[in-house]
Amino acid sequence: MHSVAALQDKKVAIIGAGMTGISCVRFLTQHNVNVSVFDTRSAFDVDIQTEVQWGPLPPEALLNFDIVVVSPGVSLTLPALVNAMERGIDVIGDIELFARFNQVPTIGVTGSNGKSTVVSLLGAILSAAGKHPCVSGNIGTPVLDTLLCSASDTHPSAKDYDFYVLELSSFQLESTTSLALDVAAVLNVSEDHLDRHHNMANYTAAKQRIWNGAKRIVSNRQDNHTIASGASPDDTFGLDYSSRGMAWRETDQTILYHGQPFIDFAKCKLEGLHNVLNIQAAALLALAVGIDANVIENAVCAFDGLSHRYQTVVQQAGVRWINDSKATNPGAARVSIMGARAQTQGKLIVVMGGDGKGADLSALKPLLEDAVDYLITLGVDGKVIMALVDNSVYVDNMQQAVNVAKRVACSGDTVLLSPACASIDMFRNYAHRGDSFAAAVAEVAA
């Protein structure tokens, strides 16, 4: 545990003036720490009084600072950051800054897919148990904003929380060294962000940093990338059978715990095998902090999921339209396509494409050939995906994609938006992409 007062004689630089960077400014300036703010982009409006230095960062720009707080969207390979680290300057992220001052029990979740659903579901479970959790990190309110304690602040102060539940990205974890979680989970690891991490080994290592200092670890026993040495089989989950931990009995759609029925999945509002895994992970995390099994079951069955995560937009003229815009990498798309295929008697029509972030999109070819009847692609890497299979077409925008799907679809078919790519080439974010899909569907279904 550090003292904020100890920072007041330090020279602190904040790199990035987006949501995370601004939360760092608010936290530090509230405690009378003088900060300098840099952003390598062109100037845009920011909600702070501190002056921002815009534009490219010279390689020597940070060498006179004691601490550099870097936003997760900024690569640690930036020459100015590399030079600072080589000089021994403390280069950290907002999660590390949080970890140095937090005194509340904390649960952390990472993985390529399912993080937001798991932390949101866990938050709902803890609330149902009468606890006051704060769900933050890579979701919702920036975590440093939750530590603010002025009387005028709209957020509760940290002392009001029973637990922090943090969604943690690989970008956040690679700049974190002292986060010691009460329970940590790696849900899965599949290709993502290789434009930043360059290879799977680096990406996996970043995810696995969540284990450092963790008191207890929850793992997916069917994904070797998620299993830490010494972790207990009692804290594992999967779609296989196991007499220890969480397991799955497909014959009667039952989630098992230590071999015994735990949750009747048919009673849950969440759909798809990927959500079986999400429920198992959230339940294990809740059990690890002492939540009653009955409370967990009731909260899980009542939870209706998050927007843009395998969300039915409408079922019209026998055609089901599903928005899974959050499927921003091939692993996520694979899961949602397999789930939709299992639920569809007619044709499965899939809309894919966007910025592939350096992933090997050709790995999708066998799945597209086996499970997808008609493929519609768009975006900067859409033509790469289209070329993988014959029964496909490239379009210029989301409205065209939905119009094509409308012409192709018949009663009994499913149209699934499962991009396998980031949205930033055409949309503000995945939510904007999902909203655009939903709006286009509403127009053709009217």
Question: Is residue 188 within 8 Å of 112, Cβ to Cβ?
Answer: yes
- HSE, CB side, 13 Å, CA atoms: give it for residue 354: 28
Residues paired with 330 in a beta bridge: none
280: nearest Cα among 240, 229, 311, 312: 240
Contacts 24+ apart (CB under 8 A), 119-124: 119/165, 119/166, 119/167, 120/303, 120/306, 121/278, 121/279, 121/282, 121/299, 121/300, 121/303, 122/165, 122/282, 122/285, 122/286, 123/165, 124/299, 124/302, 124/303
Whether 2 is a known active-site residue: answer no
358, 425 in Cβ contact below 8 A?
A: no
Q: How many CB atoms lie within 10 A of CB 408?
A: 17
| Residue indicated by tokens 């060498």 | 63
Q: Of the residues 113, 115, 131, 326, which is catalytic?
A: 115
Q: Report, in angstroms and rounded to the nearest whole number, the Rg of the chain calculated over CA atoms.
A: 23
d(CA 132, CA 143): 15
370, burial (CB in 10 Å: exposed 0-12, middle 13-18, buried 19+): exposed
Q: Which of 102, 138, 278, 329 is catalytic?
A: 138
Tally of CB atoms within 10 A around 185: 32
Handedness of CA 265, 266, 268, 270 (dihedral sign): positive
β 183-186/217-220 pair status = parallel
| Per annotation, catalytic residue among 113, 188, 193, 406 | 193
* Separation CA 59–CA 73 (nearest Å): 18
Is the dihedral angle over the CA atoms 237, 242, 246, 249 positive or is it negative? positive
Q: What is the number of H-type helices and E-type strands within the chain?
A: 14, 20
The Cα–Cα gap between 176 and 170 comes to 10
Backbone phi, psi, residue 167, to 5°: -85, 125
Active-site residue, 115 included: yes
- Is 383 a residue of the active site? no
Place of tokens 């403390």: 90
Active site residues: 115, 138, 193
